[in-house]
Amino acid sequence: MLAIEDLFTQRRHWIGGEWHEARGTASFGVHDPSTEEVIGAVAGGSCEDVDDAVEAAAKALPAWRAAPLEERLELVSRLCDVMESDAGALAEIITSEVGAPVAIAGPAHVGLAVGIARSFIDVARTFPFEEQVGRSTLLREPVGVVGCITPWNLPLILISQKLPGALAAGCTVVLKPSELTPFSALRLAECTAAAGLPPGVVNVVTGDGPITGEAIVTHPKVDKVSFTGSTRAGRRVGSLAAESVKRVSLELGGKSANLILPDADLERAVRTGVHQATFNAGQSCIAWSRILVREDQEADATGLAAEVMSAMRVGDPRDPDTEIGPLVSAAALDRVRGYIRSGVDEGARVATGGPDPVPGLDRGYYVRPTVLSGVSPGMTVAQQEIFGPVVCVISYRDEADAVEIANATDYGLHGAVWSSDPERARRVAMHVRSGMLNINGYGFDPYAPFGGVKQSGVGRELGVEGLSAFLETKVVQVCG
C-alpha cells in the first residue's frame, strides 16, 4: 500500500484493481480541520473517469455474481482482516481528514466499520437467496452494478453500510466518497486488493456531487444507486435516477428527539443523550439533538445538559483526552454558528456555549458545545439539522404533546424514549414516527435495519433488509 503521505498527493482513481491517472483536470484540496492546512488533494472525476470505472465494474460483474456465496463471503472476511491489520493507518487518515479525535477514530470509525462488514457475512450465510412459495421458486439475484455515494462525516462507517452488503449479494461497485474526506475510501480500495478481491469488483472515483456523483447516478450501466447525504442532495439523486427508473436507496437527514417522560431517571437520560448527540462533534444524522422534557423539569434538564456539555474537552483531535474535535470545514463552522445565532434571534437562551470562538483555539474549525433552552418546536433550530455539538431543550405539557412535538419535523430517523416503566416507554415509542428508536439507553445493532421515514430517506441499510437492497426478486413457476 502507498505510504499515507503519498496517498494524500497521488490524485488518481482506483479502477479495475489499480491506480488510474485521472482523465479530467479538476482537483480538490483536502484540509486538516484542526489546523486548516491543506494536507493533500484528489482528482475531480470526470464523466470519462466514471465511465471507465463503471465499465470495469460491468466487466467484473458476470464472474463475481456467478462466484459461490461462500467464496464471496470469504473475500469479504479477508477484507475485514486487512482493515483490522491496517486499523492504525485508517484511524490516522480519519483523524487527519475528518478531525475525529483519536479516542474514537480507531474504536468507533474503524472498529464499527469492520463490525458492520462482518455482520453482513453472518446475514448472508442464512439469507434465503432461493425459496419455495406455493408453486413458485423465488430467486434473489444481484441487482448488478451499484453506485455508492457516501458523505464526509463518518466516511468508513457509511461505506461499510453499503459495500459489504453489495459484495455479499454479488454486485460490483463504483464508490464515490466525499471530496472533503476521500482518503479513507482510497485506502480501503487498496485494502480490497490486499484482500484478494478481483479487479473491477470495487472501484473508487473521487470528485464532487454535481459532476462525479451525477455521472454515476445517470450512467446507463449503473443498475442501483445507494446514497447517503443531505436531504437536499438526496432529492437531486432521486430525481436523476427516476429518469431511467434506476433502483435507489436514500439515507438522508435527521432531527431526532430524546423524549424523556417525567418518571424517567432524568440525569441518566440527559447525560446519555448529550453524549450521543455530540459524538463525532455532533456530525451524525442520528444525533438526538432535541431534548424533550415536561415543563416542570425543563430547568433541571437544562442545568444537567449544560453541566455535561461544558465539561467536554474541545481541542486537538490528536490529544487522547480530547472529546470533541473540530467540525469538518469552514463552511460547516459558519453553518453551525449561524444556527446558534438564529436560535438566539428567535428567542432561545444559551445555557452554555454559543457562537463565539473557542478560547485558546485560534486555528481549526472549532465550535463551542452548546445547549439552547427555551426552544419552541417551531424555531429553526428545532426543525433543521444543525450537524454540530448543539442540543435544544424543548418542554412539553403532557405525553400527547410530547409525541406531537417529537413528530413535528420533516424527519424521522432515530430517537429515544425514557421511562421507569419500560412498557410505558414502548407504548409512547409506538406513536413516534421514526425508523429507529432506543428505549432507556443507547445502543447500535448492526444486524437491525438502519433507516428512516418521511424526509429521512427511502429504504434500509444493514441486516436482512440491507442485503435485500442489493437484490432483485425473480419468480420461476413450473406450470407443466
333, three cell numbers: 463552522
Q: What is the phi/psi pair of residue 15, to 5°?
A: -135, 130
**On the CB side of 237, how many CA atoms lie within 13 Å of its CA?**
28
My answer on whether 214 and 302 are in the same domain is no
My answer on whether 319 and 211 are in the same domain is no
My answer on whether 442 and 461 are in the same domain is no
Contact 284, 442 (CB under 8 A): no
My answer on whether 414 and 375 are in the same domain is yes
My answer on whether 271 and 366 are in the same domain is yes
Q: What is the phi/psi pair of residue 413, to 5°?
A: -100, -55
- Which residues, listed in sequence order, are joined to residue 259 by a DSSP beta bridge? 292, 417
Contact 143, 169 (CB under 8 A): yes
DSSP structure class, residue 129: S
**CA–CA gap between residue 31 and residue 39 (Å, rounded):** 6
My answer on whether 403 and 425 are in the same domain is yes
Contacts within 8 Å (CB) and 24+ apart, 132-139 = 135/477, 135/478, 136/475, 136/476, 136/477, 137/475, 137/476, 137/477, 138/473, 138/474, 138/475, 139/473, 139/474, 139/475, 139/476
Q: Which amino acid is at 364?
A: G
- Which residues, listed in sequence order, are joined to residue 136 by a DSSP beta bridge? 133, 477
My answer on whether 279 and 141 are in the same domain is no
pLDDT score at 266: 98
My answer on whether 228 and 355 are in the same domain is no
The verdict on residue 54 lying in a domain is: yes
The H or E element containing residue 214 is helix 214-218
| Closest to 304 (Cα-Cα) out of 323, 314, 288, 291 | 291
My answer on whether 222 and 352 are in the same domain is no
pLDDT score at 24: 87
The number of residues making up the chain comes to 480
The verdict on residue 318 lying in a domain is: yes
Strands 247-251, 257-260: parallel, antiparallel or unpaired by DSSP?
unpaired
The verdict on residue 228 lying in a domain is: yes
Distances (CA, A) of 155 to 40, 196, 325: 17, 22, 16
The CATH number of residue 146's host domain is 3.40.605.10
Find where cell 463471503 sits. Answer: 73
From the candidates 179, 214, 251, 385, give the one annotated as an active-site residue: 251
Contact 182, 97 (CB under 8 A): yes
pLDDT per residue rounded down to tens, the chain (480 residues): 999 999 999 999 999 999 999 998 999 999 999 999 999 999 999 999 999 999 999 999 999 999 999 999 999 999 999 999 999 999 999 999 999 999 999 999 999 999 999 999 999 999 999 999 999 999 999 999 999 999 999 999 999 999 999 999 999 999 999 999 999 999 999 999 999 999 999 999 999 999 999 999 999 999 999 999 999 999 999 999 999 999 999 999 999 999 999 999 999 999 999 999 999 999 999 999 999 999 999 999 999 999 999 999 999 999 999 999 999 999 999 999 999 999 999 999 999 999 999 999 999 999 999 999 999 999 999 999 999 999 999 999 999 999 999 999 999 999 999 999 999 999 999 999 999 999 999 999 999 999 999 999 999 999 999 999 999 999 999 897
DSSP secondary structure, 360-426, as one string: T--SS-----EEEES--TTSHHHHS---SSEEEEEEESSHHHHHHHHT-SSEES-EEEE-SSHHHHH
My answer on whether 335 and 246 are in the same domain is no
pLDDT score at 480: 77
Contact 124, 69 (CB under 8 A): yes
279, three cell numbers: 459524538
The verdict on residue 279 lying in a domain is: yes
Please state whether 31 falls in left (phi above 0), alpha (psi between -120 and 50) or beta.
beta
My answer on whether 177 and 269 are in the same domain is no
Instruction: Give the three-state DSSP class for 305.
Output: helix
Contact 45, 207 (CB under 8 A): yes
Residue 240 belongs to domain spanning: 4-252+456-476
Contacts of 187 (CB under 8 A, 6+ apart): 1, 7, 86, 89, 90, 93
pLDDT score at 267: 98
Strands 370-373, 349-352: parallel, antiparallel or unpaired by DSSP?
antiparallel
The verdict on residue 451 lying in a domain is: no
**Catalytic residue list contains 285:** yes
Query: Looking at the 3D structure of the chain, how many domains does it have?
Result: 2
From the candidates 80, 171, 191, 285, give the one annotated as an active-site residue: 285
The H or E element containing residue 249 is strand 247-251
**Catalytic residue list contains 171:** no
471, three cell numbers: 437484490
My answer on whether 394 and 278 are in the same domain is yes
Contact 414, 389 (CB under 8 A): no
